[in-house]
Amino acid sequence: MIPAAFDYIRAHSPDEAFSHLQQHGGDARVLAGGQSLIPAMRFRLARPAVLVDINGLADLGRLELGRTALAIGAIARDSAIERAPWIGETRWSLLHDVSRVVADPVVRQMGTVVGSLCHNDPSGDWTAVALAARAAVVVRGRQGTRTVPIDDFLVDSFTTAVGEGEMALAVHFPVPGDRTAGSYQKVERKVGDFATAAAAVQVTLDGKGAIKEAGIALSAAGPCAVRVTEAEQALVGQKPTADVIRAAADAASKRSEPQADLRGSVEYKKNLAGVLVARGLRQALARLGVQA
């Protein structure tokens, strides 16, 4: 199918993009990589009257690694993360892993991290990663810009804290501390498929080898990606042992609320969520030189 008719506006500055979005409100949609929006328009699942294309806004394509945060601009592609010079550092291993399994290499050339968060697909990869890493999204609204913690940003399936006439400018990932590692575990039927189940894991160890901080989140486990607070609580303050990992995995299985579909039954996906959390924890710890 071809999309319903729409007006196309190529913005030349963030101000111009914002002003068009304000003018057209709910009739307008931001066009970032177009990897989700264009297919949705072709299937007439989305029928925006106006597309505001932000791809010409070079400033929004930057990856800026500061002292406390990595800022990923609104048109920075998935492939830019994959090629970033620091991506091989242990502390960035969660981003390293996810940047290689989102969709396929062709989609990653166009798809954006921020676009993926704004799309908020229940089976998206970046949403779970952003939860585990405690990211925050910078949103431009009528009152100026505000920074929204990812837990508040992800409202429901395909719904975020970006309101009508607003746009997301960037996502900020806190720079992980020393002795931090992560892992993204995704089971997919074939390369380029959405997750059957996926788990994002990030842990920081203290000087005595106990878990100081933990981020655990699931994708394809409910209406949108979910933080497994119970798993995080089972980990923090503990020495990483097989029992502690099992407790976190069990909490993840319990928390997972997947839907049965061609990828598997509810029981299978719930079990898989726990298996992937355990596997992710073991891999993250191994990256820190700890066998558990």
Residues that bind ligand FAD (CB under 6 A): 29-37, 39, 74, 102-103, 107, 111-112, 114-116, 118-119, 121, 124-126, 162, 167-168, 192, 194
Residues 6+ apart with CB under 8 A from 134: 149, 150, 174, 215
User: Is the CB of 128 or the CB of 251 nearer to ligand FAD?
Assistant: 128
Residue 8 belongs to what H/E stretch? strand 7-10
Closest separation between CB of residue 178 and ligand FAD, Å? 29
Closest separation between CB of residue 6 and ligand FAD, Å? 12
The structure tokens listed for 89 are: 């550092």
Please state, in angstroms and rounded to a whole number, the distance separating the CA atoms of residues 20 and 125: 30
Closest separation between CB of residue 190 and ligand FAD, Å? 10
Helix ranges restricted to H, 122-228: 126-132, 150-153
User: Is the CB of 92 or the CB of 153 nearer to ligand FAD?
Assistant: 153
DSSP per position, 85-97: TTTTSGGGHHHHH
129 touches 226 (CB < 8 A): no
User: Is the CB of 70 or the CB of 234 nearer to ligand FAD?
Assistant: 70
- Given the structure tokens 């598997």, which residue do they identify? 264
Closest separation between CB of residue 48 and ligand FAD, Å? 8
Closest separation between CB of residue 261 and ligand FAD, Å? 15
Closest separation between CB of residue 275 and ligand FAD, Å? 19
User: Is the CB of 81 or the CB of 244 nearer to ligand FAD?
Assistant: 81
Adjacent-strand bridge partners of 136? 149, 172
Please state, in angstroms and rounded to a whole number, the distance separating the CA atoms of residues 22 and 96: 36
User: Is the CB of 80 or the CB of 244 nearer to ligand FAD?
Assistant: 80
User: Is the CB of 173 or the CB of 240 nearer to ligand FAD?
Assistant: 173
User: Is the CB of 114 or the CB of 235 nearer to ligand FAD?
Assistant: 114
Helix ranges restricted to H, the chain: 14-24, 37-42, 78-83, 93-98, 105-110, 113-119, 126-132, 150-153, 229-235, 242-255, 266-287
Residues 6+ apart with CB under 8 A from 25: 164, 165
Strands across the sheet with 7-10, in order?
A: 7-10, 50-53, 28-31
